[in-house]
């Protein structure tokens, strides 16, 4: 039987794709919620399954169906909630929770004695992820946390071979669905541990392994507030690229830019994704849609922004902005429309400006109020809603320096922050790149 480079028989893969479509799973949207904890045979028709994304040796993403994990029992929930583990350890702190994009790493395959190793691996993994643009330019928008999960055994199932089984906190396993590089987890257990963090925006499971692999569960709308789960191995640098790609879905709301030949021609409505369209370059420009503002510009992933046929799983009928960005192949850069979407996605969770002085609180007329921002942010100060005569772009002021009079009346001071980056051109997305902070001045 013929196979593609993933090692999955073509007929089997086509069957999975047909089943997913018949079940109403639109792969053009982000993927379904959960995945199996250990390697499983292909799900039967009666067994609930989920679609997950994984990556072959060549760096090209693919999808498959895996069994959904069973709901946690009352005993399992109680054990996780009241266990000796679950400590939340700060790794990177750039501001209060809720004002930054809070990235939560949960370790699997680390014993109680290996938690310091887990924390070191989180630092290394985040350093690898944040080297990629636009993360590199926006590091100040992120907090990073590590949630300790104590496994009974070190390492994870399927490493190095499919017959290896380990007793771990989250049930991480390579060879999930008999695919070597697909690293599945019990997403119900992930959710239980993620709840221990105050405000998770992104959840990444870090498996204690040197083996290359990972997975993306990108259609999870969690009660804890995060969208999607990414998995990756701790000591394999290429797995960091898996995380970068998966966060393209959860943070940037970007579509995949690859396709399956068997999908044929797309005939549906215009996709909602910013990097997928039915329109050609000429039509995008004429109708002023999607990424038309970038057409003709040299893109960091190579080549020129235009409209390249194939993407969002369809070889025909849909177009992508560039030939080969990271949303198509690992190891590449985000293209210009992708970077724009990622920056806007960062700001959906993180404020442009933050302050150690709580907003809404009362400050004295001579009290110093300091504001923290990243590079390229412009500040405009106001007194009682009117522009202050002094203080524009000042990161620290006093109400008196802004012109608040000592008249015994109630006053307010506020600052409006605007990220002036040229990497975001869409006015609708630029609205996300502003924020305002306000304080009351004591009488």
- All domains of the chain, ordered by start, with CATH? 12-250 (3.40.390.10), 261-349 (no CATH), 354-441 (2.60.40)
pLDDT of residue 395: 95
pLDDT of residue 49: 76
List, as one string, the DSSP characters of 329-391: STT----HHHHHHHHHHHHHHS-SEE-SS-TTSEE-TT--EE-EE-TTEEEEEEETTEE-SS-
Instruction: Give the number of other CB atoms < 10 A from CB of residue 378.
Output: 14
Q: Give the integer Cα–Cα distance in Å for 13 and 185.
A: 22
Beta bridge pairs of residue 365:
none
pLDDT of residue 47: 52
| Residue 174 and residue 157 in contact, taking contact as beta carbons nearer than 8 Å | yes
Rg (CA), the chain: 24
Taking 50 as the pLDDT cut, the residues of the chain under it are 1-46
As given in the structure block, the two tokens for residue 288 are: 């002023």
As given in the structure block, the two tokens for residue 246 are: 């998966």
Q: Give the integer Cα–Cα distance in Å for 407 and 335.
A: 55
Q: Give the integer Cα–Cα distance in Å for 285 and 310.
A: 19
Kind of pairing between the strands at 202-207 and 227-233: parallel
Specify burial of residue 356 (Cβ count, 10 A radius: 0-12, 13-18, 19+): exposed
| Residue 10 and residue 18 in contact, taking contact as beta carbons nearer than 8 Å | no
pLDDT of residue 7: 35
Kind of pairing between the strands at 396-397 and 372-373: unpaired
Instruction: Give the number of other CB atoms < 10 A from CB of residue 41.
Output: 9
pTM of the prediction?
A: 0.86
| Residue 320 and residue 232 in contact, taking contact as beta carbons nearer than 8 Å | no
Q: Give the integer Cα–Cα distance in Å for 318 and 306.
A: 13
| Residue 211 and residue 233 in contact, taking contact as beta carbons nearer than 8 Å | yes
């Amino acid at each position: 039987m013929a196979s593609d480079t993933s090692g999955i028989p073509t007929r089997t893969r086509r069957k999975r794709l047909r089943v997913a479509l018949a079940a109403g799973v639109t792969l053009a949207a982000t993927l379904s919620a959960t995945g199996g904890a250990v390697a499983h045979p292909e799900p039967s028709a009666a067994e609930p399954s989920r679609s997950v994304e994984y990556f072959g040796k060549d760096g090209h993403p693919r999808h498959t169906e895996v069994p959904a994990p069973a709901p946690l029992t009352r005993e399992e929930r109680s054990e996780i909630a009241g266990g000796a583990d679950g400590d939340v350890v700060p790794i990177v702190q750039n501001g209060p929770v809720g004002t930054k994009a809070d990235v939560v790493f949960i370790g699997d395959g680390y014993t109680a004695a290996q938690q310091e190793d887990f924390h070191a691996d989180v630092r290394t993994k985040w350093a690898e992820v944040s080297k990629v643009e636009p993360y590199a330019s926006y590091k100040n928008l992120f907090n990073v946390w590590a949630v300790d999960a104590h496994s009974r055994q070190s390492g994870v199932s399927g490493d190095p071979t499919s017959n290896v089984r380990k007793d771990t906190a989250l049930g991480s396993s390579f060879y999930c669905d008999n695919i070597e590089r697909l690293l599945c987890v019990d997403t119900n257990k992930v959710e239980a541990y993620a709840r221990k963090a105050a405000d998770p925006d992104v959840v990444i499971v870090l498996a204690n392994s040197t083996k290359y692999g990972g997975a993306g569960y990108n259609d999870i709308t969690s009660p804890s507030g995060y969208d999607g789960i990414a998995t990756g191995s701790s000591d394999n640098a290429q797995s960091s690229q898996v995380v970068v790609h998966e966060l393209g879905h959860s943070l940037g709301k970007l579509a995949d830019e690859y396709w399956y030949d068997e999908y044929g021609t797309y005939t549906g409505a215009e996709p909602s994704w910013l990097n997928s369209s039915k329109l050609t370059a000429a039509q995008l420009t004429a109708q002023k849609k999607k990424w038309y503002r970038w057409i003709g510009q040299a893109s960091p992933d190579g080549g020129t922004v235009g409209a390249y046929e194939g993407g969002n799983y369809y070889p025909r009928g849909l177009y992508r902005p560039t030939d080969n960005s990271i949303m198509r192949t690992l190891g590449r850069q985000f293209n210009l429309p992708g970077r724009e979407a990622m920056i806007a996605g960062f700001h959906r969770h993180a404020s442009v400006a933050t302050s150690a002085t709580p907003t809404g609180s009362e400050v004295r007329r001579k009290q110093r109020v300091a504001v923290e921002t990243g590079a390229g942010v412009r500040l405009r100060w106001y007194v009682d809603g009117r522009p202050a005569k002094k203080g524009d772009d000042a990161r620290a002021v006093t109400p008196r320096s802004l012109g608040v009079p000592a008249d015994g009346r109630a006053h307010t001071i506020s600052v409006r922050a605007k990220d002036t980056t040229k990497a975001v051109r869409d006015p609708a997305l630029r609205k996300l790149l502003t924020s305002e902070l306000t304080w009351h001045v004591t009488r």
